[in-house]
Amino acid sequence: MLVLTLYLQLFGLPGLMCTLDIKGGGAAENTEPLQVFGPVGLRKFIRVALELSRAQVGYNFVVHELQTLPEQDPEEFKVRAL
């Protein structure tokens, strides 16, 4: 089972997914779906990026969108404009 976990860097994900397909991550070799974990909105991002680039992956994947709890995001780490 291949699991991808990402939070800050999303833009390379569609290309990586296509590369995994070329490198043998396709449905013929792997019957388990690719598990992708990331922030809320990741599912839509992947869907739109693959659609706009007209890329197709030959395997199933499952996207798990993780929500940050307030206690995991303390005030001192929030970015504010000056």
Query: What are the tens digits of pLDDT across the range 26-42?
Result: 545 557 888 888 888 99
| pLDDT level of residue 67 (50, 70, 90 thresholds) | confident
32-35 long-range contacts, CB within 8 A, separation 24+: 32/1, 32/2, 33/59, 33/60, 33/61, 33/62, 34/2, 34/3, 34/4, 34/59, 34/60, 34/61, 34/62, 35/1, 35/2, 35/3, 35/4, 35/61, 35/62, 35/64
Query: What are the tens digits of pLDDT across the range 4-34?
Result: 566 557 788 888 888 887 766 454 555 788 8
Residue 63: pLDDT over 60:
yes
pTM value is: 0.68
Residue 51: pLDDT over 90:
yes
